[in-house]
Copies of this chain bind each other. A is one copy, B any other.
Amino acid sequence: MPELGQNQYGKAECRVVRVVRDGAVHHIKDLNVSVALSGDMDEVHLSGSNAHVLPTDTTKNTVYAFAKEHGIASAEQFGIHLARHFVSSQEPIRTARIRIEEYAWDRIETSGEARHSFVRSGRETRTAQISYDGTRWEVLSGLTDLTVLNSTDSEFWGYVKDKYTTLPEARDRILATEVHARWRSGWSDDTLPMPDWERAYAETRGHLLTAFAETYSLSLQQTLYQMGARVIEQRPDIDEIRLSLPNKHHFLVDLEPFGLKNDNEVYFAADRPYGLIEATVLRDGATPRIPTD
């Protein structure tokens, strides 16, 4: 009989918005929460018995109930509450993994004192993944879709040429990418002091932007390493970071047929194909744990 391997289940993409009212001043958190549970689940696969199955509908209800009971101090903290609950309250559930996307909102300033109006910041999406097996925690914070561009200080030359190479070398090009990053916190145990997740996120994001902007780039790989290294060096709480950087090509348009000189001024922003550069950067001696794709 075919064997059952790794398996997991849960409710994905529970959209929860939490409002906190501090008099006339309101605060909001806007999350998309996905739960994945695993454990002693052979029977439901083999015979269809649901005796060990907490319904995905219940995991969804728990997300909304916990938004009230615990509030949402940060995506990471909220995920920690949820993961601990599922593993500790249901004997057959041995591990829980909570994934969260967070959408940021800025305040609309008005002349009055009431402050309950918001405009969604469409910039990056913040992410968090919390895994728990009853003993150890693994927290991966991150972001996706942070689109950045340097309009100069990027070169690309000195590469291998084989029979299929036609690309001309470039001494001044646009470098643009959409940053996808996940970083692993050193916090892994309830006995350790909990990090300030909100501040850690804001500062790490800042380091990524600064390193991107300040690196004179000879390759997107070099820029990637500088971004990761800066985070590892500046954030003692982070042991590992994985970056995935699509090279959003901006091709210089050939205007010579029209009698015009294109002095790095007019570019075609291409969709596909795109270069894709991915790497992990680690604190010296750390064990890599963030999955590679």
Q: Report A47 CB to chain B, min CB distance, Å.
A: 7
A34 within 8 A of B: yes
Chain B contacts for A240, CB-based, 8 A: 5
From A73-81, A108-116, A133-141, A194-202, give the one contacting chain B: A108-116
Q: Report A43 CB to chain B, min CB distance, Å.
A: 9
Q: Are B275 and A20 in contact (CB under 8 A)?
A: no
Chain B contacts for A123, CB-based, 8 A: 119-123
With A15-B272, A19-B265, A266-B18 known as contacts, the answer to whether A65 contacts B164 (CB < 8 A) is: yes
Tally of contact residues, A, Cβ under 8 A? 143
- Chain A contact residues: helix, strand, loop or mixed: mixed
Chain B contacts for A19, CB-based, 8 A: 151, 174, 264-267
Number of copies: 4
Q: Report A287 CB to chain B, min CB distance, Å.
A: 10
Q: Report A253 CB to chain B, min CB distance, Å.
A: 4
With A53-B160, A108-B213, A280-B5 known as contacts, the answer to whether A260 contacts B15 (CB < 8 A) is: no
Please, which residue of chain B has its CB at the minimum distance from the CB of A47?
B222
Chain B contacts for A94, CB-based, 8 A: none
Chain B contacts for A213, CB-based, 8 A: 108, 110, 117
Chain B contacts for A269, CB-based, 8 A: 15-17, 30
Please, which residue of chain B has its CB at the minimum distance from the CB of A225?
B45
Partner of A116, one of B44, B116, B153, B218: B153
Other than the given A34-B276, A90-B160, 15 more pairs (CB < 8 A) read A2-B229, A3-B281, A4-B225, A19-B267, A21-B151, A21-B264, A41-B221, A50-B218, A58-B165, A65-B164, A90-B162, A116-B153, A120-B123, A122-B145, A163-B259
A residues apposed to B, CB below 8 Å: 1-21, 26, 28, 30, 34, 36, 41, 44-58, 60-62, 64-65, 67-69, 89-90, 105, 108, 110-112, 114, 116-124, 145-153, 156-167, 174, 209-210, 212-214, 217-219, 221-222, 224-225, 228-229, 232-233, 240, 242, 246-247, 250, 253, 255, 257-260, 262, 264-286, 288, 291-292
Q: List 13 A-B contacts (CB under 8 A).
A: A5-B242, A9-B278, A14-B272, A15-B270, A16-B268, A19-B265, A45-B221, A53-B159, A61-B164, A68-B262, A111-B214, A117-B213, A122-B147
